Amino acid sequence: MLKTAKKLNLSFVPPKLSKNLKMQLPTWFHLGAPPKTYNKSKDKCLQTNHETNTIKDLLTTSKRIHTNTTSPKHSPRKNCACQACKTDRNNGCLNPHKCAASANMILNKLNQKLNPLAKSNTDDLTLTHHRKEKTTKPSQQ
């Protein structure tokens, strides 16, 4: 499919993606990732042990850095005692915090348009609540 798109000089430039669709985009070789975003040695663990195939998976992996609601709380150490890090170590990860930081770095490098964490730009094409009501009401003649 990619070869055909390249052959026909096609590109993927949607005007606006929903947050749900952004979460379903593939993690690896992401359209919104600038060159040198991925580091093969660091990211190999994310691919194999954490199974981060979509952006949603990356968000799940990096979430422990931003939220400390787990008990015990996440600490930026190799031997963190939080449940998420324990699970990752059981799956074969040697340093879960390092992988979470790497996932966070990848998310921060994504293009604003394709990043689910970025605030979406208003394009003034989306209908407001009142305009939606007007279009759904039958016109009275």
HSE (side-chain half, CA atoms, 13 Å) at 95: 11
- Beta strand residue intervals within 1-141, DSSP E: none
Joined tokens for residue 56: 């949603």
Give the single-character DSSP code of 26: B
Distances (CA, A) of 84 to 27, 76, 132: 20, 13, 43
Q: Are 50 and 24 contacting, i.e. CB atoms less than 8 angstroms apart?
A: no
Q: Using one digit for the tens of pLDDT, what is the confidence trace for 128-138?
A: 777 777 777 66
pLDDT of residue 56: 92
Q: In the prediction, which pLDDT does 131 show?
A: 73
Q: What is the mean pLDDT for each group of 10 consecutive residues in the chain (141 residues)?
A: 76 74 81 75 85 89 76 79 86 89 88 77 66 70 54
